[in-house]
Amino acid sequence: MFGFKTWKRRRLSRHAFPGHWLEIIEKNVPFYKKLPDEDKKELQQHILIFESEKRFEGCGGLEITDEIKVTIAAQACILLLHRETNYYPGLSSILVYPQPYVAHMVEHLPGGAVSEGFDVRLGESWHRGSIVLSWDDARHGAADIHDGHNVVFHEFAHQLEDSGAKGDSTPVLRNRSSYIAWARVLQRDYAKLRRDVSRHHKTFLNEYGATNPAEFFAVATEYFFEKSKEIEKLHPDLYRELKLFYQQDPAILTEPPVTLS
Between 253 and 171, whose confidence is greater? 253
> pLDDT of 6-61, one tens digit each?
888 888 888 899 999 999 999 999 999 999 999 999 999 999 999 999 999 999 99
Of 65, 78, 63, give the one whose Cα is nearest residue 29: 78
Within 10 Å of residue 209's Cβ, how many Cβ atoms?
Answer: 23
Q: What confidence score (pLDDT) does residue 182 get?
A: 87
> pLDDT of 176-187, one tens digit each?
778 888 889 999
Per-residue burial over 216-249, b = 16 or more CB atoms within 10 Å of its CB, e = otherwise: bbbbbbbbbbbbbebbbeebeebbebbbbbbebe
| Interval 79-83 mean pLDDT | 93
Q: What is the mean pLDDT of the chain?
A: 88
Residues of the chain with pLDDT > 70, as a percent, come to: 85
Q: What confidence score (pLDDT) does residue 261 get?
A: 47
Q: What confidence score (pLDDT) does residue 111 get?
A: 62
Residue 2, pLDDT > 80, answer no
* Domains of the chain in sequence order: 1-169 (1.10.472.150), 170-261 (3.40.390.10)
Distance CA 163, CA 78 (A): 17
**How many residues in the chain?**
261
| Interval 156-169 mean pLDDT | 74
Residues of the chain with pLDDT > 90, as a percent, come to: 67
168 — phi, psi (to 5°)? -105, 145
- Cα 8 to Cα 12, 77, 128, 245: the distances in Å are 6, 18, 24, 27
